[in-house]
């Protein structure tokens, strides 16, 4: 395998999904001369090419698109910019802003002035949620099943139980039903659905798919292939309730139990990760604790819309270009903390005088809720829930009133009894 030392580049983007593509475009538009985009697979787009359902692009493109159409529009936009795209190229080491990557037949060293992390996220597998029982064939993550059906043309099963109410799991419940499979039920540990309301309505209620909240899988039975799945109810302390067991004759178990930001590469160069999000701690410029290393999209925290993945990555790219030129103003430091009923908030610190977009998720569903950004801003919501990401934009002049710390909190009436 030969080794090639690439000439230095202004901006290197790692990851060719909707975030990475958006970041590469924005870096070029904002004046970066040499921009390289690295993608480990054979095609750009991340998971979106297999998401044939609509629901993408309403915020970013102002029209409703399928996943492939969303990526097609981004790629058309990128064609005009002159971004250097390297597919089949996997970044294997990151030392500050210096990247070592493997192509099909060579090792490539890229010495970048700034790097944007846009590796996206991956699905949690069975081992991450400790589902007991046998280990037969017929257990898939929802994303794998989606690719099998939409790309490979293969139906993974006929009688399906779905664990977890993430969006992709609910979407696959509908997709499997339309393809002739029977979705026996959807099982969710929490006492509420974990995905978007529109998917709960359009994918579960509209197709009369049974949903059991506060339930878990207690056994998977099968020698070569899944044969039976046992579920049971849990109480408020998540202890099994005796006598609540239900048995299903099923041949497939589909897992939609959450997404994890891809940050193994980030750790190699000393990026500090937030244990609540799984992504890097970032400031309002989307910069990590490593100078010149920025991050955007699902690698920071899991967004519920691809539009926000692209937009946040564009913000990271814009600031990466300013970093190169030395025009970033970083003469302050405010700490941002998650307060009452806020699971997490991004960014974690504020170091500039730019307008800021706060992204957050609540810990528990509330009605008649009020989200407060310190004592400088508040916004009322009829309903908030953990599955619905909240974004609040704050103008720069508002932040001048804060000297050291901002606590983000949410008050309201509990929508579900604990």
What's the CA gap between 383 and 11, in Å, rounded?
Answer: 41
Question: 1-122+259-328 architecture in CATH?
Answer: 3-Layer(bba) Sandwich (3.50)
The reported pLDDT for the residue numbered 64 is: 95
Answer whether 18's CB lies under 8 Å from 26's CB.
no
Q: How many CB atoms lie within 10 A of CB 395?
A: 12
Q: How does strand 356-362 pair with strand 342-346?
A: antiparallel
Answer whether 399's CB lies under 8 Å from 347's CB.
no
Tell me where in the chain the CATH 3.50.50.60 domain(s) lie.
Answer: 1-122+259-328, 125-257
Answer whether 89's CB lies under 8 Å from 39's CB.
yes
Nearest partner of 10 among 146, 147, 111, judged by Cα? 111
The reported pLDDT for the residue numbered 7 is: 63
What's the CA gap between 252 and 230, in Å, rounded?
Answer: 13
Distances (CA, A) of 329 to 249, 294, 325, 336, 394: 62, 16, 11, 18, 18
Nearest partner of 86 among 25, 45, 41, judged by Cα? 41
Note if the bond before 253 is cis, omega within 30 degrees. no
Q: What is the DSSP letter of 203?
A: I
Q: How many CB atoms lie within 10 A of CB 414?
A: 11
Quickly list H helices, 130-274: 142-150, 167-178, 197-199, 264-268
The reported pLDDT for the residue numbered 8 is: 80
The reported pLDDT for the residue numbered 129 is: 78
Q: What is the DSSP letter of 49?
A: G
Spatial CB neighbours of 271, under 8 Å, sequence gap ≥ 6: 117, 263, 280, 288, 289, 290, 293, 295
- Global confidence as pTM: 0.92
Task: Give just the sign of the alpha carbon dihedral 174, 176, 178, 181.
Answer: negative
Q: What is the DSSP letter of 177?
A: H
Ranges of residues in the chain whose predicted pLDDT is under 50: 418
The reported pLDDT for the residue numbered 115 is: 97
Q: What is the DSSP letter of 297?
A: G
Q: Helix, strand, or coil here: 140?
A: strand
Question: 125-257 architecture in CATH?
Answer: 3-Layer(bba) Sandwich (3.50)
What's the CA gap between 113 and 214, in Å, rounded?
Answer: 49
Long-range pairs for 278-284 at CB < 8 Å and ≥24 separation? 278/302, 280/117, 281/348, 281/349, 282/346, 282/347, 282/348, 283/347, 283/348, 283/349, 283/350, 283/351, 283/352, 284/347, 284/349, 284/350, 284/351, 284/352, 284/354, 284/356
Spatial CB neighbours of 192, under 8 Å, sequence gap ≥ 6: 213, 365, 385, 386, 415, 416
Answer whether 88's CB lies under 8 Å from 40's CB.
yes
Answer whether 324's CB lies under 8 Å from 112's CB.
no
Answer whether 297's CB lies under 8 Å from 120's CB.
yes
Torsions phi, psi of 197, nearest 5?
A: -60, -40
Model confidence pLDDT, tens digit, residues 320-369:
999 998 877 777 788 999 999 999 999 999 988 888 899 999 999 999 99
Q: Helix, strand, or coil here: 144?
A: helix
What count of Cα atoms within 13 Å lies in the side-chain half-sphere of residue 369? 24
């Amino acid at each position: 395998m030969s080794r090639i030392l690439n000439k230095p580049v202004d901006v290197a983007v790692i990851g060719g999904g909707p975030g990475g593509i958006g970041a590469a475009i924005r870096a070029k538009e904002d004046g970066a001369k040499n921009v390289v985009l690295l993608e480990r697979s054979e095609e750009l787009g991340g998971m979106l090419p297999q998401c044939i359902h609509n629901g993408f692009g309403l915020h970013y493109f102002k029209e409703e698109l399928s996943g492939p159409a969303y990526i097609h529009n981004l790629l058309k936009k990128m064609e005009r910019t002159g971004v250097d795209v390297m597919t089949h190229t996997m970044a294997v080491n990151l030392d500050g802003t210096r990247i070592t990557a493997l192509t099909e037949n060579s090792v490539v060293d890229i010495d970048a002035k700034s790097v944007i992390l846009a590796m996206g996220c991956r699905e949690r597998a069975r081992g991450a949620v400790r589902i007991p029982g046998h280990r037969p064939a017929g257990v898939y993550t929802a994303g794998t099943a989606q690719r099998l059906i939409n790309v490979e043309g293969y139906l993974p099963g006929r009688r399906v139980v779905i664990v977890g109410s993430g969006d992709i799991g609910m979407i696959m419940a509908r997709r499997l039903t339309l393809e002739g499979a029977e979705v026996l039920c959807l099982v969710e540990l929490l006492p509420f659905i974990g995905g978007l309301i529109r998917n709960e309505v359009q994918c579960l209620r509209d197709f009369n798919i049974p949903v059991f909240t506060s339930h878990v899988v207690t056994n998977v039975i099968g020698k070569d292939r899944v044969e039976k799945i046992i579920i049971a109810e849990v109480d408020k302390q998540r202890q099994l309730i005796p006598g609540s067991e239900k048995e299903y004759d099923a041949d497939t178990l589909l897992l939609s139990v959450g997404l994890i930001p891809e940050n193994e590469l980030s750790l190699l160069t000393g990026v500090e990760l937030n244990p609540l999000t799984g992504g890097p701690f970032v400031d309002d410029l989307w910069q990590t604790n490593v100078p010149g290393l920025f991050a955007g999209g699902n690698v920071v925290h899991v967004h519920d819309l691809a539009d926000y993945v692209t937009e946040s990555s564009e913000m990271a790219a814009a600031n990466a270009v300013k970093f190169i030129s030395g025009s970033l103003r970083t003469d302050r430091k405010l700490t941002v903390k998650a307060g009452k009923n806020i699971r997490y908030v991004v960014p974690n610190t504020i170091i500039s005088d730019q307008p800021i977009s706060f992204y957050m998720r609540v810990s528990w569903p509330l009605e008649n809720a009020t989200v407060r950004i310190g004592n400088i801003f508040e916004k009322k919501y009829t309903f908030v829930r953990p599955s619905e990401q909240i974004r609040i934009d704050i103008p720069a002049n508002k932040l001048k009133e804060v000297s050291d710390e901002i606590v983000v909190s949410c008050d309201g009436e509990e929508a579900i009894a604990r």
